[in-house]
Amino acid sequence: MSRIKREVPVAALDLETALTGARLVEEAGALLTLGEEPERMVAHAFERLGQLVPFDLATVLLREGEVLRVAYAVGPLATPQLAKALIPVRGNLRLLSALKARSRPATFEEDDPGEDTFHGLIDMPRGHSCLVAPLRSQGETFGLMTLDAMVCRQYPESVLHHVGVFASLLALGIKQAEYLGRLAERERSLAEEVSYFREVQRRDVLQEPLRAESPAMRAILDQLRQVAPTVTTVLVTGETGTGKEKVAQTLHHLSPRRERPFIKVNCSALPATLIESELFGHVKGAFSGAAAARKGRFELADGGTLFLDEIGDLPLDLQPKLLRAIQEKEIDPLGAEKPRKVDVRLVAATHTDLRKAVAEGRFREDLFYRLSVFPIHLPPLRERPGDIAALAESFLDKFARENRRAAIHLPAPLLEQLQAYPWPGNVRELNNVLERAAILSTGRELRLPPGALAARGGAERAGRPHTWEAQERAYLERLLHHTRGKIAGADGAAAVAGLAPSTLLSRLEKLGLRPKDFKES
């Protein structure tokens, strides 16, 4: 290449030329921040720059380890073979020098050490012009911008200055396009995930619908159909394991909100210190450890249904905020200056007696009445044995499908056994018994392993020992039968068992046993 002569300082230039250069760079910078598709953005920006610095080839080279990849190429010399070409950096003193530059563009001369940028890719004549500027972001050089002309050109200081400014704007535009592309890809990915999980949720409800064979459950299904089109809050009550979440899912599926989120929260499973943030969200810096803002379950359920399971365990100090969210349809995230509007259909569930909790001061009366506008009580499984056949068939079908097993038949004598058992753990216990039996059954017919059903008040059958929980339940059932459900007092169950009444009641609640069910036994 011929040696390039340096121009006189910018003060001696024609003022109109300097202003023209500034205007063209400003126009190019505007194009780089429009959010266009990256290839068109770069082409349009280089088109403006070409009016200031004529070129036959303009490229963007992005660094990938020890090579530079041709990401964009514009001009008459931009051949197909140049697209995506890889240019080695190691040993090329020109490129290494350009990559080390902080901002000022470099002009390569004929006797400069190192190979021409496009050596072996494009035949350039001797004496051509080559101008290179670093592309930097966050203090690091991530690539180069090159401008090549087939003829020798002089680049005044003012032009070099404008090219440096353009390279800075180009780097900003490329990084912006890169970040926007990542955000768009992440948004597409999240949308696909949301769509997938909603479809799975919908399919689960359709494949495993609420079983309503008994008159009691048919009446509940009728109630769900009546209340589903409304926005009324629903309170589902019933013993642990009766299927309250399935009722909430069915209600959501029957409602106009079926295509929107169904979000569930177990109030008893969250620590009291976290439940407010989980429900209502927080802003960045709201408390120690809040490094970023986070949406709560109310906002995640916006437009859909929020299912609050075990609502009776919600801390008393949070109940006013829940009441306000229901009545005003707005929430106050932790640390936020203004409330946020939400459109949520609320379904709450509990196995505890909320009226008793109100009387004891553990639950707000106004919140209780706001939740129980439309109460639905799920009877325990022992009161609806007519549902057992359908529930068992549904579970066995699902088990066979998920485990790629042949269909498992439930023989009539075994069904009679299932219908005669009181199921203190309700539907959840039925599923557990059936799953274990299905795993151990080698043929097409379901067989219960010995001791699978602890007979109520009966002698333990010979064979494999029961689980600790099954033996505890059997003992406590016999104890409650003996004391006719009486807990306290000298002849009460607690005294007989040698336990404090509160400890015994805690164990009974965990096992789904109610003393009042044994008063007439």
Handedness of CA 209, 214, 216, 219 (dihedral sign): positive
R_g of the chain, CA atoms, integer Å = 37
CA 236 to chain centre: 27
Q: Which pLDDT score, from 0 to 100, does residue 459 have? A: 35
State whether 42 and 93 are in the same domain: yes
Q: Is 2 contained in some domain?
A: no
State whether 395 and 366 are in the same domain: no
The predicted model gives 389-413 an average pLDDT of 90
Q: Is 173 contained in some domain?
A: yes
Q: Which pLDDT score, from 0 to 100, does residue 227 have? A: 96
Question: Which candidate, 262, 302, 261, places its Cα nearest to that of 281?
Answer: 302
State whether 36 and 139 are in the same domain: yes
- Residue 145: what are its φ and ψ, rounded to 5°? -110, 130
Pull the structure tokens for residue 256.
């106009």
E strand map for 320-396:
330-331, 340-341, 345-350, 374-377
Greatest Cα pair distance, the chain, in angstroms, is 112
State whether 446 and 336 are in the same domain: no
What CATH number is given to the structural domain containing 402? 1.10.8.60
Domain boundary among 134, 165, 181: 181
Q: Strand pairing of 57-64 and 86-88?
A: unpaired
The Cα 457–Cα 366 span in angstroms is 43
Q: Which pLDDT score, from 0 to 100, does residue 494 have? A: 83
Q: Is 138 contained in some domain?
A: yes
Q: Is the per-residue pLDDT at 137 higher than 70? A: yes
Q: Is the per-residue pLDDT at 355 higher than 90? A: yes
The predicted model gives 47-62 an average pLDDT of 88
State the SS3 of 464-496.
CCCCHHHHHHHHHHHHHHHHCCCCCCCCCHHHH
The predicted model gives 316-330 an average pLDDT of 92
Q: Is 5 contained in some domain?
A: no
State whether 175 and 250 are in the same domain: no
Pull the structure tokens for residue 3.
């040696």
Q: Which pLDDT score, from 0 to 100, does residue 25 have? A: 67
| Residue 436: DSSP 8-state | H
The Cα 430–Cα 492 span in angstroms is 30
Domain boundary among 319, 347, 379: 379
Q: Is 488 contained in some domain?
A: yes
The whole domain housing 298 covers 208-379
Confidence of residue 455 (pLDDT cuts 50, 70, 90): very low
Q: Which pLDDT score, from 0 to 100, does residue 142 have? A: 92
Q: Is the per-residue pLDDT at 7 higher than 60? A: no
State whether 274 and 228 are in the same domain: yes
The Cα 434–Cα 425 span in angstroms is 13
- 3-state DSSP: the chain helix, strand, coil percent, rounded to 5? 45, 15, 40
State whether 401 and 500 are in the same domain: no
Handedness of CA 335, 340, 344, 350 (dihedral sign): positive
Q: Number of structural domains, the chain?
A: 4
CB-count exposure of residue 327 (10 Å: 0-12, 13-18, 19+) = exposed
Pull the structure tokens for residue 198.
């909603």
Confidence of residue 456 (pLDDT cuts 50, 70, 90): very low
What CATH number is given to the structural domain containing 86? 3.30.450.40
Predicted TM-score of the model (pTM):
0.57
Q: Is the per-residue pLDDT at 35 higher than 70? A: no
The Cα 77–Cα 267 span in angstroms is 67
The Cα 268–Cα 71 span in angstroms is 54
Q: Is the per-residue pLDDT at 414 higher than 70? A: yes
The predicted model gives 14-19 an average pLDDT of 55
Q: In whole angstroms, how far apart are CA 172 and each of 31, 138, 156, 347, 371?
A: 12, 10, 25, 49, 53
What CATH number is given to the structural domain containing 336? 3.40.50.300
Domain boundary among 432, 453, 474: 453
Q: Which pLDDT score, from 0 to 100, does residue 236 have? A: 96
- Residue 71: what are its φ and ψ, rounded to 5°? -85, -40
Confidence of residue 200 (pLDDT cuts 50, 70, 90): low
The more confidently predicted of residues 91 and 86 is: 86
Q: Is 347 contained in some domain?
A: yes
Pull the structure tokens for residue 327.
């009545």
The pLDDT mean for the chain works out to: 82
The predicted model gives 130-138 an average pLDDT of 89
**Percent residues over pLDDT 70 in the chain:** 84
Confidence of residue 484 (pLDDT cuts 50, 70, 90): confident
- Which positions ≥6 away from 163 have C-beta within 8 Å? 49, 52, 53, 105, 131, 133, 147, 155
Range of lowest pLDDT (45-49, 87-91, 433-437, 517-521): 517-521
Confidence of residue 214 (pLDDT cuts 50, 70, 90): confident
The Cα 42–Cα 109 span in angstroms is 27
Pinpoint the alpha helices (H) of 208-302: 215-227, 244-254, 272-280, 297-300
Q: Which pLDDT score, from 0 to 100, does residue 273 have? A: 76
The predicted model gives 103-110 an average pLDDT of 73
State whether 406 and 356 are in the same domain: no
Q: Which pLDDT score, from 0 to 100, does residue 434 have? A: 93
HSE-up of 245 (CA within 13 Å, CB side)?
15
Q: Is 196 contained in some domain?
A: no
State whether 402 and 465 are in the same domain: no
Confidence of residue 308 (pLDDT cuts 50, 70, 90): very high
Q: Is 52 contained in some domain?
A: yes
State whether 164 and 105 are in the same domain: yes
The predicted model gives 470-488 an average pLDDT of 79
State whether 352 and 428 are in the same domain: no
Q: Is the per-residue pLDDT at 313 higher than 70? A: yes
The more confidently predicted of residues 113 and 185 is: 185
Q: Is the per-residue pLDDT at 135 higher than 80? A: yes
Range of lowest pLDDT (22-36, 80-94, 181-195, 298-312): 22-36
Tell me which amino acid residue 69 is.
Answer: R
463: left (phi over 0), alpha (psi -120 to 50) or beta: left
Q: Is the per-residue pLDDT at 13 higher than 90? A: no
The predicted model gives 81-105 an average pLDDT of 82
State whether 266 and 399 are in the same domain: no
